[in-house]
Every structure is written in structure tokens, then in C-alpha cells.
Structure 1
Amino acid sequence: MRVGLTGGIASGKSTVSAILAELGAVVIDADQIARQVVAKGTPGLAAVVEAFGPEILTAEGEMDRAAVGAIVFADAGRRKVLEGIVHPLVFERYAELEAAADPDAVVVHDIPLLAEGGRADTFDAVVVVDVPVETQVERMLRERGMSREDAEARIAAQATREQRRAIATYVIDNTGTLEDLRQRVVEVFESLVTGARPA
């Protein structure tokens, strides 16, 4: 059972991902893989430096994620260039991890930009973690120390709530307590497991 998990920035998707892993799902994290494929010394990082210049490197030779983020969030064309480098490398690594999973497992692909990528139909089910935009903004101000302007720009760069909900097989509302969230994730996981097993 291949499952796409997505949600807007500060929706609580990482928490849902962690709960699914605790419940026994095999979680493949796009953000984590995206960091690995441009780690120091990788061909991915070399390609990013070639496209964006050596000023996107830290003194230690790592990719300065904040510097690159500032460039690509301000310029959709530059964002497409970065995605053109990183996405194929991420998909290659995905395929390797998926091939290594147990055939009966619920394999969850944690993909922040699933709605934007147009690949929702490649999954057996899509789980969307959903919160109102104002909740996202409040969390980014409180937990990430961002300005309202930065928070709103990041949200605007992503798909809308409606676009994400349109691809959802399951919607997980994350406006309640952690216990409410856990309970809903357990319900969804049980449903996925049932779907994963042959009738």
C-alpha cells in the first residue's frame, strides 16, 4: 500500500509522520532525502553550486539552506531550477527505499509538495494534514520566529488548502490536542492497513 502524506507548512505533518512510523508504517521522508541528496560532497550539491554559484555554500562547504530558500521563495523560475536538480535525485532514492520495504507494508511517502507536483494519482491513498491558514501563520510566528510577512510568503508559495483537500483520500484535522491528532491518525492507519491486505 503506497500512501502519499502531505500538508502545508506548520500543519503538523511531521508529527503525523512520526505517529505513523510508531504504528508500524514505513515512512519515506522527502525533506530528509532532499537534504541527503545535496549533502556535502554529493553530485547533487555540485549541480546546485553550478546553477546558483558558490555563495550558497557555508564556510564548511555545506549548502546554506536559508540562503537558497531566500532565493527560490522570491523567484519561481529559480525554484524550478532547484527542483529540476533535486527532484530526480529524490525520486531515485525513493524507488530504492520502496523496493527494500516489506511487500505487505504500508509505505508512507512524506511529501510536503505533493499537491504541487501533480503526482497524487500515483499513490493508493493520499493523507492530507489540514489546518486553517491563520493557524499555520500563528505556529510559524510562535515556533519558528518568522515574521508574518515571511510566514504568509511561504504559505503563498505552496498549494492552497482547497488544492490539497481535493487530492485527499483521508483528511486529518490538526486543530485539536495531540491526543485528538493521535486518535485520528490511528483510525486512518487502521483503514490503510485493511486496504493493504488482500481481501
Structure 2
Amino acid sequence: MIAIIDYDTGNTKNVAKALHAIGVENVLTSDAEVIRNADGLILPGVGAFPLAMEELRKRNLIDVLKEEVANGKPLLGVCLGMQLLLEGSYEHSYTEGLGFIKGKCRAIPDKEGFPVPHMGWNELIITNKSPLTENLESKYVYFVHSYYADCEKEYINAVANYSIPVPAMIRNGNVYGAQFHPEKSSTVGLGILKKFKEVVYA
């Protein structure tokens, strides 16, 4: 069973629907024991980084997430959930993140012809192979975000060219992130979730 972390953020229904579509038992939960008993974790997210971290703190989810990651449990962060995997974010004011992957979240720079938020379908360019990147070169996925993960190349598995090369997929050990929305990226996105399922149940 995969636990979708519930901290009052959007898009959880779409994530659950996508997991059901590929035959993965899942539950939306903020219960620490359910999270500990899950085989894998998905941290979704839509909205602002500071509010998201405050909700995780209010629900006492930060420590249990850190414990489970330290125990080797696979975790996939999606969109804002990926950004929360970093050390912190400069959205509004600086806020500490979960610290699973070294790096900071910064605003996408303004550039003529590249409106912010970055919204729409973009091509993936694979930079470092991971269990989630097989057969993804030149595939298109759906983005909606105004901030990007500024981290070292060793953690970046794929980028999408926008006003800058936007880190689209990142990884550190058993922690994976997708800046785009797999659950909104048609068969390509479902394929990524299937690969995460294979990681969870390897």
C-alpha cells in the first residue's frame, strides 16, 4: 500500500485516481502509524511552500517522514511536494524544508516569452538515469509552478528547458521528486508512477 500524505493540499484526489488506474492500493492519510506501515510514500502538493511546511508541522508529519526515509522507504514528491524535499525555499521569505536533497527553491526568473507561472507541456531531457527515467527522453509532461529546485547536478535526473533548464526530476537515494504532475501527464505520467510502484515493491 502507498500512503499519500495528507496535509490539506490540493490534487490528492487526482494522485489517488492515477494510482488506482495502475492497480496500486493507496490511502490518503496523516496518521503516523499508517505512514509507518505503508510500503511507499507520495508527498503531493499545490500552493505555497511556507504554508505547506506549517501544515506538515501542525500534523506532526515532519519527524515521521524523516524516520521513514532514514529507514529506506521510497518517497516521491510531486510539484510542491518535490520542492519540500529540499533544504529550504525563498518563496515569500526563507522557510526550511525537509532537507532530503541538498538545494534551495527559488523563483523562476522573469524572461520575455516565458511567463510565470511555468504552465503547460514540456519536453524532458534526461541528465542522470534513475529507476524512474527509463524511456522518458523527449517525452512531454505537464507543469504548473513558479519556483524551481536549485540543486547540484548530481541530484538532477531530468530537466525541461524554459527560461532556464528547470530541474524536472530529482533524486537522492530512496527519495525521488517530480516537479511536473505525473497524475496529469497522460500515459507518460502513469508510466512514471508504475516505475515508482516497481521501486516500492522491488
TM-score, length-scaled by structure 1: 0.36
User: Greater CA radius of gyration, 1 or 2?
Assistant: 1
Higher helix share: 1
Question: Which gives a bigger RCO, structure 1 or 2 (Cα 8 Å, sep 6+)?
Answer: 1
